[in-house]
Structure 1
Amino acid sequence: MTIIRQTSLFSIQELYDMEPTQKYDAIISAINLDNIYPKVIKKSRLGAPEELNYAAMIISTFVRYVERIPTIKDLIKRLHDDVAFKLNCGFLVSDSVPSEASYSRLVTKLEACNVLEIERDKVVLQAIAEGFIMDDTAAIDATHFEARDQAPPKEEKPKPEPKKRGRKSKEEREQWLKEQAETDADLPLYDRKIEAQLDVPIVELRAEVPQDPKWGVKKNSEGQNVFWFGYKGHLAVGTSSQYILQALFSSGSLNDGKAAIPLLKGIHERLQLPLRYQTMDAGYDYEPLYEQVHRMGQQSVIAYNKRNEGEPIGFDKHFAPTCFREHSYRYDSFDAKYETLKYTRPKECSDCPLADEGICQKVYKVKITTDLRRYTAPARGSQAWKKIFKRRTAVERVNAYLKEFFQLNNVRYRTGKRAKIHFDMVTLIYNASKLAADRINAQLNQQQVA
């Protein structure tokens, strides 16, 4: 009888249950500290003492997130009280423990550069090179977390003047449209409509993201509005590997849909993964997002948001054509060469007398480019579409991991720029932990084969 050997599934939780020395080595080895060290090392005789061990400071900052140590003050106390922990973080016995001010200066230097975000992308590229990321679908979603400080009191806005009733004349309307276009052109990038982002380079999109803490609102599972003061983390996650492919930090007031194009462009230009599908919930149902995915040569699997739109005549709620008796045609296949969906005659038409009279056609074809929002591949409502859309839960799972195990909702900084360092650190440590777990899995599987 053939013996089937079960493959090992070593998880992040099992990684965190390992001995500290092994755990720290596995996670930190996934990050290239040589790229971070030159950014924070002391270059002047002035300021912080020269005897500080900057490499160990970087490692201990990472370990703080691994061990879920809430504050820098608690980290310093642990370094003072636990010699073994101090050695595991890379300090020598003779090294003095850095002060809170020293760690604050370290964060300031990280704030001045973009090294953590760059290293996060490099960890993903390394995972791709080692064969751990072979996804064909990415899922995009946002999660909110509160700022450290309480929200300032809301300012009372002056009441706008009542609008004049009645239709504008042709001249008045043209003048109004001209004024609106001039006003929109002067707005910041993320205050304009989403389609303004389509032709903007990824570097500019990243640089213009608002990062100050703001009031945000989102509907919960019960349909009620939930308000918070703080930030949002926008993630694009591989649905199979569950790596964070791209991440974006923003103010809590930024609309989820306005963060999607920077994430999509980041995946396409920085990683160049052979993805086939991008899946999102109804909060991302905007035409420019379908256009961006189509430009990338991929397909959108996004929940449809009606927005008080009526169903078109001759089509069902999933935009599949209907026969004379209003039975829906069945989705058959997608022709990628001609970007065409093929529908076949409904089952109910097999014994319909109208079928033989040629009133209802046997096959119905439609190009997805006629309306990228309504016509997706696979077609909306089909079993294939539903199966791909279910993969979207991967990004929700990662959001939960970041909050429960990686302290995403434990922001200790007051400014948005420093809070971004916290977000970048959390997402970098998560990806490094995922790569470490995958490497251990690969070693276990090789040992089993041997």
Structure 2
Amino acid sequence: MFSIRQERLFSLEEILEMSPKESYPLLLDPLNITPLLRVVSKKAFLGAPTTLNYSAMIYSLFIRVIERIPTIKDLRKRLKNSLEFRFDCGFTMADAVPSESSYTRMIQKIKGSSALEKIQNELVSQAFQEGFIDGDVIAIDATHIEARDRKPEKKKDEEVPVKQTSKKRGRKPKSEREKWLKEQQELEENRPLFEKKIEAQLPLDFKTIEQQIPQDPHWGIKKNSEGKNVFWFGFKGHLLVDCKSQYILKSLLSSGNVNDGKMAIPLLKALHELHPQLKPSYSLLDAGYDYSPIYQQAKAMGSRALIDYNPRNEQLPEDKDKYFCPKCQEGHSYRYDSYDSRYDTLKYTQPKKCKECPLKENNQCQKVFKVKVSSDPRKYTVPARGSGRYFELYKQRTAVERVNAYLKEYFQLNNIRHRGNVAKIDFEFSILTYTLCKLAVDRLNKFKRIAAA
């Protein structure tokens, strides 16, 4: 009797461990560096000729991430000491090894453009056309990134300010209240976008929001697995990932102090505007994103937001359980039955234990409950909280956490070398290199399946 063995698919780790002669062509073949060359190349034909091989310099920056070379200085050392590595990057014998200043000037030019973003969008569209991206279920999450900038010193209070006598607290008199309300409204309108409430982002398009994202390093805070606060100085990387294929559909970098919830709407808007062919049915987010405007934005895209409920000192109603399912008089939770799209209602039926309940004979317990989702989108989701289908979908959110781990372990996301807002270049190179590797792995696996058929 023959034993049928399932063919082992190629993994992301395996392609990174291949020899450069095998891996570099596979990884860099889908890369179209034309947008980058337009940015860094000489614009005029007059003057001294260009002596730098910009194509090879660009490829070497991607290879630096693949080979996990920590700095540009180490990259130059490798180019000097290894002719084979120099040829693999695209340099010829006539090309001199570029100086660190040359790399710095080129990176500064790339920073002022959107070339890396365009290439990433092209690769995502290409992966979708080849059938690697489903886009039905997406997930959003943030990860902390430490900066290399010097951490600001704590300011010492040289003079103790004189304590001013505070006015009587409470509601202001009518004569002062109108003036105070106008002042508060003016203050709110003049604040930067990311200091306003999240709903201020809803009427804006993605480009308008993107231009106002703070990207300077700042102190950030998060809770670890033990529930303790952890501080770091730097940035936050925000990812929107396709759960099935684990492709990064959109990524954004912000200062470390920006609230995670304020970056969800820009990510969703970017997906809707830049990749209209992707129409996610479900958007998965953790409790840090539990804000009503995020539900509204997901609904405007035709997607259902499944977000862990964050109580924020809100008391649960006595007639509901922790998943907001109705409870009978004996305290048993009703069961989620179905969703009616015509009336936007969730249907709950009597629990099994109610079959033997003495109250059933007198019809004292209601048989069916129907709740409108629009009455409170944070509490009532489709499918309903606590249902098996909800947990089955929400488990897929681990895909974005897995991608974050890959980026830090294999793609230098935990090794930001540039200071200030130039750190965005390191972030984008990490994201783009990951996408190249993912596309190469999927193409290899597709070829193996076709060959085995």
* TM-score, normalisation: structure 1: 0.95
For residue 278 of structure 1, what is the amino acid of its counterpart?
S
The SS at the match of 1:236 is: strand
Please state if 1:206 is matched with 2:219: no
Which amino acid counterpart does residue 299 of structure 2 have in structure 1? H
> Superposed, which structure 2 residues align to 1:83-94 within 5 Å?
83-94=83-94
Counterpart selection for 1:433 from 405, 425, 437 = 437
Measured in 2, the distance between the counterparts of 1:149 and 1:35 equals 30
Which deviates more, 209-218 or 115-124? 115-124
Paired position in structure 1 for 2:33: 33
Question: How far did 1:45 drift?
Answer: 7.1
**Distance in structure 2 (CA, Å) of the matches to 1:10 and 1:370:** 47
Counterpart contact for 2:220–2:234, Cα < 8 Å: yes
TM superposition shift of 1:165: 2.1
- Does residue 66 (structure 1) correspond to residue 66 (structure 2)? The answer is yes
**Cα deviations by residue, 1:261-309 (Å, 9 ceiling, x for unpaired):** 0001112221231311111111111111111111111111111111111
Is 2:55 the counterpart of 1:51?
no
Equivalent-residue separation in structure 2 for 1:143 and 1:2 (angstroms): 48
Shift of 1:48: 8.8
SS of match in other structure, 1:113: coil
Alpha-carbon distance in structure 2 between the residues aligned to 1:143 and 1:46: 47
SS of the residue aligned with 1:274? coil
User: Residue 377 of structure 2 aligns to a residue in which SS?
Assistant: coil
**Identity rate, percent:** 53
Q: TM-score, with normalisation over the residues of structure 2?
A: 0.94
Contact 1:8 1:444 in 2 (8 A): no
Check whether the contact 2:279–2:302 (CA below 8 A) recurs between aligned residues. Answer: no
2:245 equivalent in structure 1 = 241
Deviates most, 22-31 or 438-447: 22-31
Number of aligned residue pairs: 448
Quick check: 1:270 aligned with 2:274?
Answer: yes
Q: Output one character per residue of 1:51-77: Cα deviation in whole Å (capped at 9) or x when no partner.
A: 211111110111000100001111111
Q: Aligned to 2:221, what secondary structure does the other structure show?
A: strand
Shift of residue 240 of structure 1? 1.3
Where structure 1 has 5 or more consecutive residues not aligned to the other structure, the ranges are none
SS at structure 2 position matched to 1:305? coil
Sort the Cα spacing of 1:352 and 1:258 in 2 relative to 1 into closer, same or farther, 3 A: same
Q: Secondary structure in 2 aligned to 1:262?
A: helix
Give the drift of 1:181.
1.4
**Which residue of structure 2 lines up, in the alignment, with residue 330 of structure 1?**
335
Cα displacement (A) at 1:438: 0.4
Structure 1 residues 132-151: aligned runs within 5 Å: 132-151=132-151
Partner of 1:423: 427
Between 117-126 and 209-218, report the one with greater CA deviation: 117-126
Q: 1:156 to 1:282 in 2, by over 3 A?
A: farther
Which residue of the partner structure matches residue 283 of structure 1? 288
CA–CA separation in structure 1 for the residues paired with 2:118 and 2:322 = 43
Are the structure 2 counterparts of residues 103 and 221 from structure 1 closer, same or farther at C-alpha, using a change threshold of 3 Å? same
Maintained 8 Å contact 2:280/2:302: no
Q: Give 1:7 shift.
A: 4.3
User: How far off is 1:119 after superposition?
Assistant: 1.1
Equivalent residue, structure 2, for 1:309: 314
Name the counterpart of 1:176: 180
Contact 1:48–1:102 (Cα < 8 Å) also in 2: no
1:378 aligned residue: 383
Q: CA deviation at 1:335?
A: 2.2
Q: Give the distance between the partners of 1:33 and 1:338, measured in 2 at CA.
A: 50
- Structure 1 290/45 Cα, relative in aligned 2: closer, same or farther at 3 Å? same
